Structure formats: C-alpha cells, structure tokens
Structure 1
Amino acid sequence: MRPSGLIISVVLLLALVVTPRLISSQEAPVPVVLWHGMGDSCCNPLSMGVIKSLIEENIPGVYVLSVRIGDSVVEDVENSFLMNLNKQIDMVCKQFSNDPNLEMGFNAVGFSQGGQFLRGLVQRCSGLKVQNLISIGGQHQGVFGLPKCPVGLHICEYVRELLTKGAYEEYVCACVIVQAEYWHDPLQEDVYRRKSVFLADINQERSVNTTYRENLIKLKNFVLVKFNNETVVVPNESEWFGYYREGQEKEVIDLKDSDIYIKDKLGLKVLDESKRLHFLSLDGDHIMFTRKWFVENIINPYLK
C-alpha cells in the first residue's frame, strides 16, 4: 500500500520542525559563568580573559559570561574589596535570572573568593539551574589572615589595617570590607557566628536554612580545588572546607570531621556519598595552574 500524500506531508513537516530542535538541543554546549577573585576583574586579559578564551577554544560555540560588579572594570576591581557581598549576590542573581542564555542551565567556575560567592549564589538564588559548580582556591570556611594582596594596589594596605583592627567591629562592617565578610576567627568563634554578615549565614552556622541545603544538593557536581603551596589563603584547607579546630589556630580539622559534614548542614555529605563532591589539589601557589591542567581537569570532565 502506498502512503497517501497527507501522510507524506505530515512526515516531512515533522522532519523539518521536530528533528532540527532535537539536534540543536543535543549539540548546544552548556553555558559557563565565571566569577573572579580579589583585586581582579571580569575582563583582565591576563586572567579571566585567558580563561574565557581557553574555554571558548575547547568548547566551540559556548556562551561564557564573566561576572562584572559595577559599570566599569575599575569599579569591578574596587567592588571586589568594598561592596557588601549580600548585595553583590542579589545583583548577580537578578542578572543571571534575566539572561536568556542561562535559562536552560549553566556551569559555574569561581576563582579564589569568587568560589564561595558562587556557592552563596547557588544556595540563595533558587531559580537558577546550575549544573556543575567549580571552586578554584575558594575560601569556604573563610580566612584568618590576609598575607598577600595583589601587588600595586594601595587598597590592600587599607583592607589589612581594618581587618587587623577588628574584622567584626561595627566601623569595619560599616566600611563594607568584603574580606571581613568571610573573616573567620577561630579564637572568637562565638563572635564570628553572631557578627559574620555573610559566611556564617551560607555555612549554616546560626541556623539551618533548608533551601540552602536543597539547592546545593541539586548540583550534578561540586568540585573543590586546593593549592598545596598556598601563601594567600590561611589556612589553605579552607579550600576543601577544612578549618582550625575551635579555640586555637594551629590544628586543622578536615571537612569530614566538622559539624557541617557530620550534621550535613549544607548537603555536602549527600553530595560526597553520591560521588558528586570532588577534591582536587595541585602543587603551586594561589590560583597558579597551567592551561593544560585547566583543560584536562576542569574543561574536559566538567564543562564539555
């Protein structure tokens, strides 16, 4: 029996309308967003510019968005020191939510403090569809020291001076020092829990926000990269959620020995047991890695 002209027409129509959409959906690369670290900017040709180009070279046609806080590159650098983190995350949440290129989901890569900022975004901004979250040198349990700051920036001395005087004092908070918002003093844990305006919240130190936990558990993968010869993040175990045992500043306990993991306040235990929490390390100082390493360990397994 020969097919009628109507059936042939319907088949041809489906081939023209349905098939291309299926192919497009399968072949479209997942977008990537980047959030830079302290003293850097979205578009620095020696840092985020290199990363953006590297991703585009290895994933043809991918949409890459590098976060800029402010109306210019100069403002972006300044705001990495001087804009309230809660405000920054609200701004980025709205920006990403209104970007049609990101509505079907995206991968997120944070560098240094950008790592915990993106985690805060994932936990708080429920409408986003983040697939893989990658933190490269992020300080997820905070820092207790600021030994190095980008060379040549006078603002570094200003920030160091204020943090030394008292990271939790009202006049420091009033100056909106970003680094004070993830300053974690193990000698004053009670003060940290009460007065931390950012880190204690996203780490569920005061109470457990179930939305934060549920949003993090939705990730396909959460990747934590630690630098073994770190001279910027003190202690460097913070990059893997480790930190000083309360009351002193020498003994460091691992993530799996901490309340965050044991009580599973963030869902990290769930991610770990389902093999979606990954710990990478490499020799080198803060955010020091080769293009080859980034391609083999980040782009190929998590961004492609």
Structure 2
Amino acid sequence: MEFNANSATFIYVHGAGNKPPESDLKRAWDEDLFGRDMGERTRMVYYADLLHDRPAAIAADACGATGALAALVSDAFADTALLEDAEAREAFGEMDSDGQEFALSLAISMAARAASPTGLAPTPGVRPAAGVAELLPLPGPLRRFLLRQLLRHLIPDANGYFFTSAQDRIRDRLRTTLDAVAGPVVVISHSLGTVVAYDVLSEAGFAQKDVPLFITLGSPLGYTEIQDVITRPLRIPAPVRLWTNFADPLDLVTLDTTLADDFRGAAKVIADIRVDNPSPNNHASCGYLRSRHVRDAVTAAQ
C-alpha cells in the first residue's frame, strides 16, 4: 500500500505533561521530524492548556546532553517516590475514586514491568529495527528514577483525560482539526496523544475520513489498564489504512512494544517497529521523531 505524502496534511497529537506554547511546540515537532518549519502542511492538536494553568517554559533540547542533564538534575532535587511527593499527594487526593484506582493500578503495572528483566525480552516474530542496540536491563535505581519521572507527568494528565470533563474538550481539539482538512491526513501521535487519537479516529463520524497512515510513538495502548478505559472493542479505527507503532524497548511507557496482538483486524494493518530512542528516558517525542524509521514512515507506507 502506498500513498503520496506530498498530498497529505500531517496532524500532530502531543503527549502527557505540560508543554511550551502551541506554536513553539509545533515548530519543534516540525524541526525534529522534517528538519524545517512546515507551515500549513502540519497542524498541532494542542490540549496542554486544558490540563495545566500556564504553558511550560521553552526548554532546552530534551534529546541533547545539556538539556537532558539539566532536566534530570532538576527533577532529581524535586522528586521522591510516587505519592511521597507533596505535589503528587495533592494531585492524587483531587482524583475521584475511579481516577485513584486507575492511577495506582497503572503505576503498579508499569513498576512491575520496569523491574522485570523479562519486560525487555524480544517479542517472538518481531524483528528489532536496524540499529537498535543490544538490550540490557538498566540498573534498578536508574529505572525506578526514570519511571517516577514519567509517572509524575503521565498519571495526572491521564486522569484528567479519562476521568474529568476535560476529555470531550481534548477530543474536540482533534475533531476540529480533522474537520478542517479536506484531503488525506497522516496522524502522528505520542504517549497519551496516541490514546486521544485512537479514541477520536474510532468515532463513527470519522469513518469516511482518509487516514492513509496513523503513527503512534511511545504508546501506552498496550497496557491493560489503558485498554480498559479507551474505546471498545479494541479494533483498527475505520478510516486508518495503515497503523505504524514505534516503540523503544527501554521506553518505560511502552515496555509492551507490540499492539498488533491487541487490536481486532490488525493483520496487515498494524506494523510494530522497534526503534532506538536516544533521549535519556527513552520516551521523549524528539527522540522518536528524529528516528530514520519514523521519518521514512511519513513519506511512504507499504
């Protein structure tokens, strides 16, 4: 299956955590994926303002040594174990019972996978992408530290999406963007954004939309806890012709690197591809977007 990427509009759906202003975030994704400002060819579905009071500062490159080190050092001073942190306790206390149950269940599941060397075992029948380094378990303390950083961002926003009134407003951002594009769209999503994109593309109103390619980067859709609260049954959204899922085996959000075994109708539609995300936590969007395999996928699909 092939399509002419020159005729498609690329729609970005960012992940969890506070973000820089929309225009800055779009420009950063353009640079990471295409190496230049793409103007109207790309659109950013921005929803961080629905979950956070003010935009984040424009940060140093999360994939560069200097920016990554600064972020890790900053977090290290502020961070303690999940729910031992005053900010985390406050956020947890504001969740309703469904949100608290979800947060604890997902945290336990992620922690269990992160602690288990088997979580890094190769998946039968799935070949790693060329260039992926030999997989070795990270030291336990480092994996626990990185897991805490990811949970600090993922859990509050996931709760906001799944269990508050923000959910429909977040979906509306993507609905409006899809409606505004007359031709084919390539949807490129990261982290929690993969969940938002899956839910909206599964809606009956978009069944006739032309989506030749749906890209998920660092997706948590393989977790049972996430699957319990997304659109059911689990199946390929009707407008999607090809779904390419990229996962770094050391990305703590996507230790289950395959989705083809979870979604109905996935045969010949979902391609699970392992990549090497060079960012320190193996989850940052910049690392995925700069991957040669991801860049190749936005221009052609087979």
TM-score (norm 2): 0.49
* Higher RCO (CA-CA < 8 Å; seq separation 6+): 2
TM-score (norm 1): 0.49
Bigger radius of gyration among the two: 1
